[in-house]
């Protein structure tokens, strides 16, 4: 359950959490033409706080809206300031941040007409998305019976609300079958991504990940590719098949919510030694040093704030 904060930023104002409501005929509620981001704030070792790649997330949010043809009444800079303001108002040294741009109530039917474009930013405390044990022990996943969207069907570069029906179906199926998460294949049968994460595999100390063409360009994915290079690993973006995953030394998910979560089993096949491998452990450790402000080489990824 989401832990309530005091307020939500709603169209330029701080609104009490329980009063941040919309009409049941809100267009995006019916047709899914909205966009959102998932962003994390972390409490740093020195007592300050930071939001990880905040400006980049807000730029992606605006670009997602552009792809859907939504004319947003705020800039990425406006939303960056609003996110920090909301964290401070809610006195959150660490948090999950959810901006959402959506089409409000007015005309009904597929075409939104002149319906208003509305924006909210909610913040709340949040721990490990897949559970604290998952970060160390890894998770069990299955390859979903649902395929990831084709690039010309749902505009895969937009983090659009409606796109995530695909993720809901895959995740629900996986959980019902006793797994923690799903891996979706693309329409050619190649590995694409998780229901809300990007995927990597390790073979002989080389890190592989599907090319960004057909997946959402995750900012944590981008960060991990850069980090891996700095740690001396070769990273290759190329097609991956499910049987390649079965035979990999390590497989792991990355994402704002998932951070870096190892995968210990896929489709009842044990991956590697059935736990977090050495590459995942090192990258996970270095990632957490970065987000806690302990590595000055990556300070440019951190938006600092103090309560």
Instruction: Please check whether residue 81 is in contact with residue 71, taking contact to mean a CB–CB distance below 8 angstroms.
Output: no
Under the banding of pLDDT at 50, 70 and 90, the label for residue 126 is: confident
Catalytic residue among 66, 159, 275, 292: 159
- Average pLDDT of the chain to the nearest whole number: 95
Under the banding of pLDDT at 50, 70 and 90, the label for residue 129 is: low
Structure tokens belonging to residue 209: 């990940």
Which H or E element spans position 297? none
Taking only the tens place, the pLDDT of each residue in 49-59 is: 999 999 999 99
Nearest to 36 by CA among 122, 130, 146: 122
Instruction: Please check whether residue 161 is in contact with residue 34, taking contact to mean a CB–CB distance below 8 angstroms.
Output: yes
Structure tokens belonging to residue 151: 């690039």
Distance separating alpha carbons of residues 92 and 125, to the nearest angstrom: 7
Instruction: Please check whether residue 82 is in contact with residue 61, taking contact to mean a CB–CB distance below 8 angstroms.
Output: no
What angle (nearest 5°) sits at the alpha carbon of residue 60, between those of residues 252 and 222?
A: 30
Stated length of the chain: 307
Nearest to 87 by CA among 111, 121, 133, 53: 121
Nearest to 205 by CA among 228, 224, 183, 227: 228
Residue 130's pLDDT is 62
Instruction: Please check whether residue 202 is in contact with residue 250, taking contact to mean a CB–CB distance below 8 angstroms.
Output: yes
- 3-class SS at 251? strand
pLDDT of 249 higher than 80: yes
Taking only the tens place, the pLDDT of each residue in 87-106 is: 999 999 999 999 999 999 99
Under the banding of pLDDT at 50, 70 and 90, the label for residue 9 is: very high
Averaged pLDDT for residues 175-202: 97
Residue 41's pLDDT is 98
Question: Residue 296, Cβ neighbours under 10 Å: how many?
Answer: 9
pLDDT of 60 higher than 80: yes
Nearest to 11 by CA among 154, 133, 117: 117
Averaged pLDDT for residues 250-273: 97
Under the banding of pLDDT at 50, 70 and 90, the label for residue 128 is: low
Please say if 159 is a catalytic residue.
yes
Residue 131's pLDDT is 65
Residue 153's pLDDT is 85
What are the CA-CA distances from residue 115 to residues 28, 67, 70, 118 (Å)? 10, 18, 10, 9
What are the CA-CA distances from residue 208 to residues 92, 236, 253 (Å)? 36, 5, 12
Instruction: Please check whether residue 263 is in contact with residue 139, taking contact to mean a CB–CB distance below 8 angstroms.
Output: yes
Taking only the tens place, the pLDDT of each residue in 108-122 is: 999 999 999 999 999
Taking only the tens place, the pLDDT of each residue in 193-245 is: 999 999 999 999 999 999 988 788 899 999 999 999 999 999 999 999 999 99
What predicted TM-score, i.e. pTM, was given to this entire model? 0.95
């Amino acid at each position: 359950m989401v832990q309530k904060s005091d307020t939500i930023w709603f169209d330029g104002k701080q609104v009490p959490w329980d009063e941040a409501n919309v009409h049941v005929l809100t267009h995006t509620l019916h047709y899914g033409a909205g966009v959102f981001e998932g962003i994390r704030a972390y409490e740093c070792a020195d007592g300050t706080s930071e939001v990880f790649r905040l400006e980049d997330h807000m730029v992606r949010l605006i670009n997602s809206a552009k792809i859907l043809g939504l004319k947003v009444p705020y800039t990425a800079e406006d939303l960056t300031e609003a996110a920090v303001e909301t964290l401070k108002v809610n006195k959150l040294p660490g948090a999950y941040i959810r901006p959402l741009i959506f089409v409000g109530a007015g005309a009904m039917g597929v075409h939104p007409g002149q319906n208003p474009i509305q924006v909210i930013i909610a913040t709340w405390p949040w721990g490990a998305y897949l559970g604290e044990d998952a970060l160390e022990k890894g998770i069990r996943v299955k390859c979903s019976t649902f395929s990831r969207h084709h690039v010309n069907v749902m505009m895969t570069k937009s983090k659009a609300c409606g796109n995530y029906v695909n993720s809901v179906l895959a995740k629900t199926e996986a959980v019902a079958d006793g797994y923690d998460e799903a891996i979706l294949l693309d329409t050619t049968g190649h590995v694409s991504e998780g229901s809300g994460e990007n995927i990597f595999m390790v073979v002989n100390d080389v890190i592989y990940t599907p090319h960004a063409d057909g997946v959402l360009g995750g900012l944590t994915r981008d960060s991990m590719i850069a980090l891996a290079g700095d740690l001396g690993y070769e990273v290759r973006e190329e097609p991956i098949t499910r049987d390649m995953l079965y035979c990999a030394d390590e497989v792991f998910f990355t994402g704002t919510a998932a951070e870096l979560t190892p995968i210990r089993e896929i489709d009842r096949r044990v991956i590697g030694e059935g736990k977090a491998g050495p590459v995942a452990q090192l990258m996970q450790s270095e990632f957490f040093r970065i987000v806690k402000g302990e590595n000055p080489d990556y300070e440019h990824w951190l938006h600092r704030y103090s309560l």
